Structure 1
């Protein structure tokens, strides 16, 4: 049986970090199904405010151990970054808590730098979280299968 966890609390406690008040507000708002806009200066903690909101809301973890790693969820989070230069840093930040919290999600990049082999792999199966730019998202939306592939 799977259950929801407070991944933010678990990870921040393990790191001996204290979340900022605005991060807690974001986590609570998303848990309640609210939407909004988060505006904060660079380095203020926006990434983890939003990432843990998504993990807390959508990620499920197994309470019983498995012999094999659980398959990744279908595309659940579409992360749009304004510049492809930020995409790799964002991916590293988003991947950091996944293994330690036993969350079987995958993180992928789709920018102008993405190789044709990676784009082909993503055409077959998107990662759980896709980090992309507005330009690359526009190209993805123009595909005939975009409604199906992005429906999750």
Structure 2
């Protein structure tokens, strides 16, 4: 933990995400919470649900919770500072329009929760510099 910082408990981190959902006028679906728990346990899987049901935040919510918990602890869970630059999530979509919508959705959640993360979008026409930075 960094000096002067107070650790965020798992319950407080969860409450922050739930409060953000509430502020949006949403309530997490049971399947979303289940996906978050799987993420936090380090498990992987395949999420299949209809369009518009909340897949993006189901898949990303676990990473958000992990980030909130680590930020409160002052580390990334591996002893590195929470703000350390490292790839957290790689999101792949075949459609450019969907990539733009997803970028906006992820950025809104990250910014609202105060996480020091950067969202970058790479397309097939990305510059060589952008592709190198994505590694």
TM range (shorter): 0.7 to 0.9
Q: Structure 1 runs of 4+ off > 6 angstroms?
A: none
The answer as to whether partners of 1:73 and 1:104 remain within 8 angstroms in 2 is no
**Higher percent of residues as strand:** 1
Q: Which residue of 1 aligns with 2:21?
A: 12
TM-score (norm 2): 0.73
Q: Deviation of residue 61 (structure 1)?
A: 2.5
Distance 1:122 1:57 in 2: 26
Distance in 2, Cα, partners of 1:75 & 1:29: 19
Partner Cα distance (1:78, 1:18) in 2: 25
Is 1:79 paired with 2:91?
yes
How far is the alpha carbon of 1:9 from its aligned partner?
A: 1.8
RMSD between superposed Cα atoms in Å: 2.5
1:72-96 deviation digits (Å, cap 9, x = unpaired)? 6311111111222311111001101
The whole-number CA distance in structure 2 between the counterparts of 1:27 and 1:74 is 21
**7, 15, 21: which is aligned to 2:30?**
21
- Which deviations, in whole Å up to 9, do the C-alpha atoms of 1:72-121 show, x marking residues without a partner? 6311111111222311111001101112211010001111133x2xx415
Unaligned runs of 5+ in 1: 65-69, 127-148
- The answer to whether residue 80 in structure 2 is matched with residue 102 in structure 1 is no
Aligned to 1:129: none
**1:35 deviation in Å?**
1.0
Alignment coverage as a number of residue pairs: 118
Match of 2:39 in 1: 30
- In structure 2, runs of 5+ residues without a counterpart are 2-6, 75-81
2: CA distance between counterparts of 1:105 and 1:14?
21
The Cα shift of 1:32 comes to 1.6
